[in-house]
């Protein structure tokens, strides 16, 4: 699906899962290099930036857990940035691009905002929206972490083991998706300055700044999840130790009782007390006294 937007002399083409015919038409219209056109037809595994005579080709991957319309939590966006045109290509619907298209279309109609005099500025605003969506994803994770923290101290440590593991997996996938953004954006600063001029370098640095904010927020969440995991493991271990302590005490208490019961239950010719008046209560008294002695022993050792 192809969408076309116009703002003064700048054209923005947004492609979602482009067909071969759509790619060929754009290739002819905007003089796109054949190698670039070939890569638009399917997703690419690694992000990169390439500088051509008439355009910059950039690939970035953006993780999405909450705002996603596909099973794959990683969304790829390809940018072809010329002087007076920009082409964005993606293979699933991306909410932030959809929202930006509405704003861009309104600004084109009312003509009251100054986007800039070349397509690089359009890329700048799109990139800001994409990184803003990443911040929203991390806010969603942060809310989940707060809920996990509350549940941990409500006695739900066992249930939180799986929850913490899922959140940690999402954070690892998030980090994996954006891990190459630093190198790609650094290369983009060099290529973009050469292509658009020195005055545009500030905007390219600002895009890198948006990435650093996300990376810092991500590390904060990862530190939080590790601390919560350690806390949860400590509480689980404490509970398990308490259970083992109680079971051990019960085992020690019941051992002399079982021994006494076994002795008086022996099938021998003579057993003391057995057969005398009130022998049952005497044996029970002996058991109770033995239990009391064990209790005093545990208290003295401070095991209870």
Q: Is residue 49 within 8 Å of residue 61, measured between CB atoms?
A: no
pLDDT at 238: 79
Average pLDDT over residues 252-264: 72
Helix or strand run (H / E) with residue 168? helix 157-178
Instruction: Determine the CATH number of domain 2-236.
Output: 3.30.460.20
For residues 131-143, give the mean pLDDT: 88
Q: How many CB atoms lie within 10 A of CB 232?
A: 23
pLDDT tens digits along 50-67? 999 899 999 999 887 766
Whether 198 shows a pLDDT value over 60: the answer reads yes
Average pLDDT over residues 143-168: 86
For the whole model, what pTM was predicted? Answer: 0.75
Find the mean pLDDT for residues 86-112. 75
- Residue 249, pLDDT score: 72
Instruction: Please check the confidence at residue 206 and state whether its pLDDT lies above 90.
Output: yes
Q: Which of 98, 81, 75, 97 is nearest to 11 (CA)?
A: 81
The DSSP output letter for 154 is T
E strand or H helix at 103: helix 95-110
3-state helix, strand, coil split of the chain in percent (to 5) is: 65, 15, 25
Residue spans in the chain of domains classed CATH 3.30.460.20: 2-236
Over residues 230-257, mean pLDDT = 78
Interior/surface letters 89-121, b for 16+ CB within 10 angstroms, e for the rest:
bbbbebbbbeebbeebeebbeeeeeebbebbbb
Q: Which residue has the tokens 């995991």?
A: 229
> Percentage of the chain surpassing pLDDT 90?
16
| Burial (Cβ within 10 Å: 0-12, 13-18, ≥19) of residue 169 | exposed
Give pLDDT, residue 189: 92
What confidence score (pLDDT) does residue 173 get? 87
Please work out, in degrees rounded to the nearest 5, the angle formed at the alpha carbon of residue 180 by the alpha carbons of 142 and 68: 45
Q: Which residue has the higher pLDDT, 74 or 136?
A: 136
Q: How far apart are CA 60 and CA 257, in angstroms?
A: 72
Q: What is the pLDDT of residue 58?
A: 92
Going by pLDDT thresholds of 50, 70 and 90, the confidence category of residue 255 is confident
| Per-residue pLDDT at 57 | 92
- Cα gap 291→252, rounded to integer Å: 9
Per-residue pLDDT for 227 more than 80?
A: yes
Would you call 42 helix, strand, or coil by DSSP? Answer: coil
Q: Provide the pLDDT confidence category of residue 207 given band limits of 50, 70 and 90.
A: very high
Structure token digits, residue 122: 């359009």
Look-up: residue for tokens 């932030």? 96
Q: What is the rounded distance in angstroms from the CA atom of residue 298 to the CA atom of residue 292? A: 10
- Residue limits of CATH 1.20.58 in the chain: 238-300
CATH code for the domain defined by 238-300 = 1.20.58
Q: Is the predicted pLDDT of residue 182 greater than 80, yes or no? A: yes
Residue 3 has a pLDDT of 83
CA separation for the pair 276, 270 (Å, rounded): 12
């Amino acid at each position: 699906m192809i969408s076309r937007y116009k703002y003064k002399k700048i054209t923005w083409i947004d492609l979602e899962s482009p067909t071969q015919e759509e790619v060929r038409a754009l290739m002819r219209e905007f003089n796109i290099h054949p190698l670039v056109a070939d890569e638009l037809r399917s997703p690419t595994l690694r992000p990169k930036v390439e500088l051509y005579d008439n355009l910059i080709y950039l690939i970035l991957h953006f993780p999405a857990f909450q705002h996603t319309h596909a099973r794959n939590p990683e969304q790829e966006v390809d940018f072809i940035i010329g002087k007076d045109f920009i082409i964005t290509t993606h293979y699933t619907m991306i909410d932030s691009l959809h929202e930006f298209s509405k704003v861009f279309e309104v600004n084109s109609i009312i003509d009251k905002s100054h986007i800039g005099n070349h397509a690089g500025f359009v890329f700048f605003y799109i990139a800001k929206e994409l990184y803003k969506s990443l911040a929203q994803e991390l806010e969603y994770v942060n809310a989940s972490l707060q809920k996990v923290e509350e549940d941990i101290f409500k006695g739900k440590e066992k249930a939180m083991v799986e929850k913490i593991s899922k959140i940690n997996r999402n954070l690892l996938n998030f980090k994996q998706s954006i891990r190459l953004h630093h190198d790609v954006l650094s290369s983009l600063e060099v290529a973009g300055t050469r292509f658009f001029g020195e005055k545009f370098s500030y905007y390219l640095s600002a895009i890198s700044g948006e990435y650093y904010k996300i990376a810092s927020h991500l590390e904060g969440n990862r530190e939080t999840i590790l601390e919560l995991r350690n806390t949860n493991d400590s509480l689980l271990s404490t509970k398990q130790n308490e259970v083992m302590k109680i079971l051990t005490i019960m085992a020690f208490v019941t051992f002399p009782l079982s021994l006494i019961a076994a002795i008086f239950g022996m099938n021998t010719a003579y057993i003391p007390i057995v057969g005398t008046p009130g022998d049952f209560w005497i044996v029970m008294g002996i058991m109770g006294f033995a239990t009391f002695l064990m209790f005093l022993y545990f208290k003295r050792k401070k095991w209870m």
